[in-house]
Amino acid sequence: MSNTDNRCRLVLIAPDIADVESRGQVLGDALRGGDVASVILPQYDLNDHAFQKHAEALVPLIQKAGAAALLAGDTRVAGRAKADGLHVTGNAAELAEAVEKFSPKLIVGGGNATDRHHALEMGEIRPDYVFFGKLDGDIKPEAHPKNVALAEWWASMIEIPCIVMGGTDPQSALTVAESGAEFVALRLAVFSEPEQAAVIVGQVNALLDEKAPRFED
């Protein structure tokens, strides 16, 4: 069993699959591959009713695997589905509202920190984490250099953990880890070939075990 407490850990962005059973199977396979800190479940194009149905099916599956289930979408669904937390994709005002309403009962974190100014604005709200990148921002093999640079700056001076969106290449997880970020988020890198998802999760964990820098206590 690898020691993941003192190195960058993996966060999965659930794939955009409209059929809830297929989505659950793919996600369940990935979670069997190795350590996953949390899974962010985006609403994508689902209406609120369908998102609720997906959340109710997938949240227990994620939690059973030992990961935290974070919902990005209709906040009412999080409570009904007994999710662990909320991922806010809006601006600082929306993040502040969610923190005030749901923290500390739920994990509340946010993205949309596109530069240092916006990142610090979000940091002042004291969320549980800040996310650099977009949930569907994995459009190139490597993690976006701007997000990696933001994470390096953030990790050097701010105690609030950060998650950085990786690229479509699983190896991009190591570049993110080397920035000092506590978490790397992967989506297409794991789910573009669903039958390989568990293997890729295992490979990413092995890579981070071997090469990721260790955090100081």
Q: What is the pLDDT of residue 112?
A: 84
Q: What is the pLDDT of residue 5?
A: 80
* Residue closest to 118 by CA, chosen among 147, 142, 86: 147
Please report, for residues 26, 27, 82, the alpha-carbon distance to residue 21 in angstroms, rounded to integers and kept in the order given: 9, 10, 19
- In which residue ranges of the chain is pLDDT below 70? 1-2, 217
* Residue closest to 131 by CA, chosen among 145, 103, 151: 151
Q: What is the pLDDT of residue 2?
A: 54
Q: What is the pLDDT of residue 63?
A: 98
41: left (phi over 0), alpha (psi -120 to 50) or beta: beta
This model's pTM is above 0.85: yes
* Residue closest to 161 by CA, chosen among 192, 119, 202: 119
The burial of 135, by beta-carbon neighbours within 10 Å (0-12 exposed, 13-18 middle, 19 or more buried), is given as buried
